[in-house]
Amino acid sequence: MKGLFITFEGTEGSGKSTQVALLVERLRGLGRTVRVLREPGGTPIGEEIRHTLKHSHASDAMTSEAELLLMNASRAQLVRELIRPALLKGEIVVCDRFFDSTTAYQGYGRMLDLTAVARVIEFAVGPTVPDLTLLVTVTPEVSEERLRSRQVNLPFVRDRIEEADRAFFDRVARGYEKIAAAEPERVRKVDGTRGVREVQADIWSHVEKLLSDSTR
């Protein structure tokens, strides 16, 4: 069976991690072998980079350029260590964020040159491109409300990227819209402001189509 690569994208609090878990459960229910990954991270090297990017106080002075390269160092490792071997074995790889996050956050959010960002991504991933990307969208108000309630329910862990201001996240959201408009076949937008089950049904309709197209 052909391997399939599915990625999830969205701003903070979009609910994509919940949707990743539900999709994986459903695919495994069909008897498929599914590998679930996240970015940055997913490998031992990547998880160390994730800590540096998100939580380490040594990173307070991190430049946007260093952030771009670290995100892609983690990605280069993940692609070669896990994603390509899994796809070659015919597995389904589901990744919570992939290169569209870099375009949205470092390109549009941090306002780095988009051509340079694209070149770095290309170097990191080569030909390994998702078959389907699910962009879960929420309004800034929903995103902020979900982040607030998450912080109330979980022990506080500082997150450098989440500390950015509203204007940054508005640019990220606009960046995602541009990405989806540029590649409407690969990137499917899903309205994440609805209930978990409705969002899941919408996601499943896209995945079902991918599964049937891939067995033709």
Q: Which residues, 136 to 195, sit near ligand TMP by CB under 6 A? A: 161-162
Determine if 133 is a binding residue for ligand TMP (CB under 6 A).
no
Query: Residue 103 has what DSSP assignment?
Result: I
Q: Who contacts 10 (Cβ-Cβ below 8 Å, separation ≥6)?
A: 16, 135, 136, 137, 138, 176, 192
Written as one letter, the residue type at 178 is K
Q: Which of 3, 13, 15, 40 binds ligand TMP (CB under 6 A)?
A: 40
Residue 160: name the closest of 34, 14, 24, 58 by CA: 58
What binding mask, one character per residue, do residues 70-99 give for ligand TMP by CB under 6 A, x or -? -x-------------------------x--
Q: Give whichever of 32 and 55 is closer to ligand TMP, judged by the CB atom.
A: 55
Q: Which stretch binds ligand TMP (CB under 6 A): 35-43, 135-143, 175-183, 203-211?
A: 35-43
Question: Residue 164 is which amino acid?
Answer: A
Q: Should residue 19 be labelled a site residue for ligand TMP when binding is judged by CB under 6 A?
A: no
d(CA 109, CA 173): 9
Binding site for ligand TMP (CB under 6 A): 12, 38-40, 71, 97, 101-102, 105-106, 161-162
